[in-house]
Structure 1
Amino acid sequence: MGSDGRDDAETAEPDDGGYVHRPSGEPPRQAETSEAFGREGWVLVGMIVLGFLVIPIAILLLPAAQDLVRSLGLTLRAAYLALPLVPAFLLGAVAVWSALRSRRS
């Protein structure tokens, strides 16, 4: 308590280190963008089509392709587990590839 009966925390001024924000008045700049989709965009679209269309259709057709699955040395259960991993690994590889390319440029 201070001498006037108030808490010191109530009377203390904020300790901001003397910082005062003074905007410069100029508007913020927007990052430059390109309208071109590019090769990276098409690779990503291909991976999405593979992951959301091709692999689910292949999973639905697995019971009809049991002979093909057996010829690859897989059981039907193993094929159901392994097939969704294909787009997962490919999407991960595309993400790493895209990150490395954007870092280079």
Structure 2
Amino acid sequence: MSSDTTARNDATAESDTYVHRPDGVAVGGDGSEPEATGFGSRGWVLVGVVALCFLVVPGAVYLVPSLPAMAGLPYLAAMLALPMLPALALGLVAVWSMTAATRGDD
């Protein structure tokens, strides 16, 4: 390895602002640890919608398959709409929670 490459690597290492610690704690260049904020209210709303989309709606379709027919929906329309509504809700809530996270809101 040439001395020019070694000098460039040393300069890059000194200018980094992120230090990885094997114990899982990320430390900034100034030595301060990032503040642990948790999920926040938007994160818990996202968890609730994920549970709704992956547990409640499929469980309802599995346990009571005649439920859409009782509501007056034809079978084909129900089988197209039932997966689409949770997918739409999940996508909207995911975008809503991530835009808040990137802005630094709750």
Which of structure 1's runs of 4+ aligned residues deviate more than 4 A?
none
Match of 1:99 in 2: 98
- Contact 1:51–1:87 under 8 Å retained in 2: yes
Amino acid at match of 1:67: M
Question: Per residue, is there more strand in 1 or in 2?
Answer: 2
Change over 3 Å in CA distance of 1:82–1:65 after alignment to 2: closer
- Unaligned regions of 5+ residues in structure 1, if any? 1-15
Identity across the alignment (%)? 38
Q: Which residue number corresponds to residue 67 of structure 1?
A: 70
Greater Cα offset, 89-98 or 27-36 = 27-36
CA distance in 2, matches of 1:36, 1:20: 38
Larger radius of gyration: 1
User: Counterpart of 1:6?
Assistant: none
Kindly indicate which of the two structures has a greater share of residues assigned to helix: 2
> Aligned pairs, how many?
86
Deviations 1:23-48 (A, max 9, x none): 32987135724253321221111111
TM-score between both structures, scaled by the size of structure 1? 0.64
Superposed CA RMSD in Å reads: 3.0
The answer for unaligned runs of 5 or more in structure 2 is 20-26
